[in-house]
Amino acid sequence: MRWACILFPQLALDGVLRHREQSEVPLALISGTPQRRVVHALNPAARALGLKSGMSLTAAQALSTAFETAEYDLGAIERWQAFLAAWAYGFSSQVSLHYPRALVLEVESSLGLFGPWPRFEARLRDELAALGFRHRITLAPNPVAARILANAHDGLAISSQSELHERLGRMPVERLGLPRDVATAFSRMGLRSFRQVLGLPRDTLARRFPAELLRHLDTLLGRRGIALQCYLPPDEFDARIELNFDVESNQALLFPVRRLIADLAAFLAGRDCGVQRFSLLLEHRSLPDTQMPVGLLGIEREADVLFELTRGRLEQLEVPAPVLAVRLVARDLPEFLPERRELFDERPQQNLSWERLRERLRSRLGDEAVSDIKARADHRPESAWQAGEFRGSTEALPSAQCRPGWLLRAPEPFTEGDMRILAGPERIESGWWDHNDQCRHYFWVETQSGRRAWVYRPLKEGGPLLLQGWLS
Partner 1 sequence: MGSVIALDTLFDQRRVWKGNAVRQTRGAHSTGLEALDAILPTGGWPESALSEVLLHAEGSGELHLLWPTLARLTKQAERIVLVAPPHVPFPHAWLSAGVDLRWMTLIEASSKDALWAAEQCLRSGSCGAVLCWPANADDRALRRLQVAAETGQTLGFAFRPLREAVNPSPAALRLCLETRPSRVSVLKCRGGIAPDTAIPLMASH
Q: Return the number of the residue (212 or 339) whose C-beta is nearest partner 1.
A: 339
Closest to 159 (Cα-Cα) out of 365, 2, 372: 2
**Site for partner 1 (CB under 8 A): which residue of 387, 434, 459, 460?**
387
Does residue number 315 form part of the binding site for partner 1 (CB under 8 A)?
A: no
Stretch that binds partner 1, among 86-94, 253-261, 316-324, 381-389 (CB under 8 A): 381-389
Closest to 67 (Cα-Cα) out of 26, 29, 37: 26
Q: How far apart are CA 37 and CA 71, in angstroms?
A: 10
User: In angstroms, how far is the first alpha carbon of the chain from the final one?
Assistant: 72
312 CB-near residues (< 8 Å, 6+ apart): 360, 363, 364
Q: Supply the minimum distance, in Å, between the C-beta of residue 387 and partner 1.
A: 6
Q: How far apart are CA 331 and CA 235, in angstroms?
A: 7
State the number of binding residues for partner 1 (CB under 8 A). Answer: 48
**Site for partner 1 (CB under 8 A): which residue of 112, 450, 462, 463?**
450
Q: What is the DSSP string of 322-364?
A: -EEEEEEEE---PBP-PPP--SS-SSTT--S-HHHHHHHHHHH
Does residue number 372 form part of the binding site for partner 1 (CB under 8 A)?
A: yes
Closest to 67 (Cα-Cα) out of 89, 45, 99: 45
Does residue number 408 form part of the binding site for partner 1 (CB under 8 A)?
A: yes
Whether 246 contacts 264, CB under 8 Å: no
**Site for partner 1 (CB under 8 A): which residue of 404, 438, 442, 465?**
404
Q: Which helix (H) or strand (E) holds 137?
A: strand 136-140
Q: Supply the minimum distance, in Å, between the C-beta of residue 409 and partner 1.
A: 6
Does residue number 19 form part of the binding site for partner 1 (CB under 8 A)?
A: no
Does residue number 214 form part of the binding site for partner 1 (CB under 8 A)?
A: no
274 CB-near residues (< 8 Å, 6+ apart): 268, 299, 300, 301, 333, 334, 335, 336, 337
Does residue number 409 form part of the binding site for partner 1 (CB under 8 A)?
A: yes
Stretch that binds partner 1, among 38-46, 202-210, 256-264, 402-410 (CB under 8 A): 402-410
Q: Return the number of the residue (287 or 369) whose C-beta is nearest partner 1.
A: 369
Whether 443 contacts 456, CB under 8 Å: yes
Stretch that binds partner 1, among 209-217, 234-242, 254-262, 442-450 (CB under 8 A): 442-450
Q: Return the number of the residue (211 or 400) whose C-beta is nearest partner 1.
A: 400
Stretch that binds partner 1, among 128-136, 221-229, 309-317, 395-403 (CB under 8 A): 395-403
Q: Supply the minimum distance, in Å, between the C-beta of residue 301 and partner 1.
A: 20
Whether 131 contacts 157, CB under 8 Å: no
Does residue number 411 form part of the binding site for partner 1 (CB under 8 A)?
A: no
Q: How far apart are CA 231 and CA 468, in angstroms?
A: 65
Specify which residues 70 forms β-bridges with.
Answer: 29
Q: Return the number of the residue (132 or 298) whose C-beta is nearest partner 1.
A: 298
Q: Supply the minimum distance, in Å, between the C-beta of residue 406 and partner 1.
A: 4
Q: Supply the minimum distance, in Å, between the C-beta of residue 162 and partner 1.
A: 59
Closest to 243 (Cα-Cα) out of 229, 230, 259: 259
Stretch that binds partner 1, among 151-159, 281-289, 331-339, 379-387 (CB under 8 A): 379-387
Does residue number 364 form part of the binding site for partner 1 (CB under 8 A)?
A: yes
DSSP designation for 381? G
Binding track, positions 324-353, relative to partner 1; x by CB under 8 A: -----------------------x-xxxxx
Q: What is the DSSP string of 263-310?
A: HHHHHHHHHTB-EEEEEEEEE-SSSPPEEEEEEEEEEE--HHHHHHHH
Does residue number 297 form part of the binding site for partner 1 (CB under 8 A)?
A: no
Residues near partner 1 (CB under 8 A) are: 347, 349-354, 356-358, 360-361, 364-365, 368-375, 381, 384-385, 387, 390, 392, 397, 400, 403-409, 422, 446, 449-453, 469-472
